[in-house]
Amino acid sequence: MTPTASPLRIHYGWIIVATGSLVLFSCLGLARYAYTMLLPGMQAGLGLAYKQMGFIGTANFSGYLVSVLLAPTLIRRFHPRAVITTGLVLISVCMLAISRCNGFYPVAVLYTLVGLGGGFANIPMMALVTYWFRSEQRGKAAGLVIGGNGAAIIFAGFLIPLLNRCYGTEGWRSGWLVLGLISLVVTACAATLLRNHPSELGLEPVGAPVPVSDGQLRPCERRGDGLILLRLGLLYLVFGATFMVYGTFIVTTMVREYGFSEAKAGLYWSWVGFFSLFSGVGFGALSDRIGRRHGLALVFGVQTMAYALAGIKPGTAGLVVSIVLYGLAVFAIPAIMAAAIGDYLGLSRAATAFATVTIFFAAGQTIGPAGAGLIAGTTGTFTTAYLLAALLTACAALFAATLPAPAANRD
């Protein structure tokens, strides 16, 4: 039976949002951010050095970078729904396989493939938001989708310590096994519920219609679009290079440098997930009102404070403030960026443009954790890496504030 919007008067776009939240719960929340919780157990179980911990994270981001390069072509040929489902299948199978690994290299290879699947799921999912929602609702919708990441962080923050208590040194293996099985369930939901475009159900996008110009009906590059794309890409690069340094190593920092138990560190990490539930939708909706450039600048400012506090190590109270600030801002940039792409470049180019800026994002993610791991291997602490992240995001806040306003008629 074909789903429609009429019985409950709920636009199917909100079903897309709910399903998209599950997709990101799996493809990024479980497949990437749960790695932070699994890392201490994996380090002990596999005897990983700091630099190996960083390189496993980088392997994931390298796979994501490859998927970014391939995604636009795959989306055009097979459409978002099929690409998303395929990416989730790849993620699920590889996470199940990681649970059986016994060394650094098999984990690195499989986690590279997890990153590949993550890009195949995430990029077309965020493109679907631009198809299903007009500009006035786009930031909020993207934020709700990205909220799936926060739910996954909360889930992992409680699940992984529980499994470690139950299974001891093998707890991390059980963690990957459970996460892989959950991702298979999400795959089935996505395959069943996602639709490529409102027109498939005879619907219009959510939001008030605006006058349509010829430029919106066909791919049309305006003067300055290339520079805007570059500037958005550079901002996304800084975000990618900084947020996963904190996201990858803060639990390890709490355990190794603050002397927290894994359960206590997991509880604090779950706070990131809780506050991040408001991150994307809160800042996304705010950017609908104050504009994308001011929204981006504000988020980078909040991240700067979070990283600086982690770097100066002001004690447990300061660490708690850092964690709260990080959670409040962590998924805001992707939500605003997805909305900004549609505003600046137009719907006809949204998927390709989002994939383009995501190349910068993936490059930043590839550099960040590996660099932080090397720095920590030399200094014995992640303090320098956190302070460098704060410097970069402070510069990004100033750069974002100089973005121009989007051109008219690009809804």
pLDDT tens profile 185-198? 999 999 999 999 89
Contacts of residue 279, defined as CB under 8 A and 6 or more positions apart, other chains included, come to 143, 146, 147, 150, 327, 328, 329, 330, 331, 332, 335
Share of the chain above pLDDT 90, in %: 33
Q: Which range, 110-119, 164-173, 217-226, 402-411, has the best average confidence (pLDDT)?
A: 110-119
Tell me the average pLDDT across 270-293: 84
Which among 159, 153, 146, 151 is positioned nearest to 283, based on CA atoms?
Answer: 146
**pTM of the predicted protein model:** 0.74
- Higher per-residue pLDDT: 217 or 132: 132
98, pLDDT greater than 90: yes
What is the per-residue pLDDT across 303-358, written as a single tens digit (0 to 9) for each? 999 999 999 888 889 999 999 999 999 888 988 888 888 788 776 676 678 778 88
Q: Which range, 88-97, 146-155, 217-226, 370-379, has the best average confidence (pLDDT)?
A: 88-97
CATH class of 12-197+223-400: mainly alpha
Q: Domain segments of the chain: what residues? A: 12-197+223-400
| Helices 383-400, 292-312: crossing angle, 10 deg rounding | 160
Q: What is the pLDDT of residue 224?
A: 62
Tell me the average pLDDT across 169-178: 90
Q: What is the pLDDT of residue 370?
A: 79
What is the SS3 string spanning 81-149? HHHHHHHHHHHHHHHHHHCCCCCHHHHHHHHHHHHHHHHHHHHHHHHHHHHHECHHHHHHHHHHHHHHH
- CA–CA dist 132, 204 (Å, integer): 8
Going by pLDDT thresholds of 50, 70 and 90, the confidence category of residue 411 is low
- Higher per-residue pLDDT: 228 or 58: 228
Phi, psi (5° rounding) for residue 408?
A: -70, 160
What is the per-residue pLDDT across 15-32, written as a single tens digit (0 to 9) for each? 999 999 999 999 988 998
Going by pLDDT thresholds of 50, 70 and 90, the confidence category of residue 207 is confident
Mean pLDDT across the chain, nearest whole number?
A: 85
